[in-house]
Amino acid sequence: MIKFFLMVNKQGQTRLSKYYEHVDINKRTLLETEVIKSCLSRSNEQCSFIEYKDFKLIYRQYAALFIVVGVNDTENEMAIYEFIHNFVEVLDEYFSRVS
């Protein structure tokens, strides 16, 4: 089950966030900074799935934007990976430039 969906830029500013389970508002910013820190520290050769606390993070980078989805154990990571791409394609179709 998807726990949260984040779009964060390289500087760590949240562009979009949606939580599917309740997280306290101050914990949210903390979570976002930690998540973006672990994503930023990965190089290109490393895989896109990170284990973070009890979530799995699946992230994809598009230019300066990181899209991170946090899931629990039952989810198929590769399907979510495709899903992120699908989402970006939809955004691209609907709006002209996504940044």
Partner 1 sequence: MPAPIRLRELIRTIRTARTQAEEREMIQKECAAIRSSFREEDNTYRCRNVAKLLYMHMLGYPAHFGQLECFKLIASQKFTDKRIGYLGAMLLLDERQDVHLLMTNCIKNDLNHSTQFVQGLALCTLGCMGSSEMCRDLAGEVEKLLKTSNSYLRKKAALCAVHVIRKVPELMEMFLPATKNLLNEKNHGVLHTSVVLLTEMCERSPDMLAHFRKNEKLVPQLVRILKNLIMSGYSPEHDVSGISDPFLQVRILRLLRILGRNDDDSSEAMNDILAQVATNTETSKNVGNAILYETVLTIMDIKSESGLRVLAINILGRFLLNNDKNIRYVALTSLLKTVQTDHNAVQRHRSTIVDCLKDLDVSIKRRAMELSFALVNGNNIRGMMKELLYFLDSCEPEFKADCASGIFLAAEKYAPSKRWHIDTIMRVLTTAGSYVRDDAVPNLIQLITNSVEMHAYTVQRLYKAILGDYSQQPLVQVAAWCIGEYGDLLVSGQCEEEEPIQVTEDEVLDILESVLISNMSTSVTRGYALTAIMKLSTRFTCTVNRIKKVVSIYGSSIDVELQQRAVEYNALFKKYDHMRSALLERMPVMEKVTTNGPTEIVQTNGETEPAPLETKPPPSGPQPTSQANDLLDLLGGNDITPVIPTAPTSKPSSAGGELLDLLGDINLTGAPAAAPAPASVPQISQPPFLLDGLSSQPLFNDIAAGIPSITAYSKNGLKIEFTFERSNTNPSVTVITIQASNSTELDMTDFVFQAAVPKTFQLQLLSPSSSIVPAFNTGTITQVIKVLNPQKQQLRMRIKLTYNHKGSAMQDLAEVNNFPPQSWQ
Binding-site ranges for partner 1 (CB under 8 A): 14, 16-17, 22, 25-26, 28-29, 43, 45-51, 76-79, 81-83, 86
Q: Cβ neighbours of residue 32 under 8 Å, at least 6 residues apart? A: 6, 8, 12, 14, 17
| Shortest distance, position 54 Cβ to partner 1, whole Å | 15
Q: Which residues contact 66 (CB under 8 A, 6 or more apart)?
A: 6, 7, 8, 9, 10, 36, 39, 40, 59, 60
The DSSP output letter for 21 is: S
25 vs 63, beta carbon nearer partner 1: 25
**CB 16 to partner 1: min, Å:** 7
Q: How far is the CB of 22 from partner 1 (least distance, A)?
A: 5
Residue number with CB closer to partner 1 (53 or 86): 86
Contact 9, 64 (CB under 8 A): yes
| Residue 22 or 97 having the CB closest to partner 1 | 22
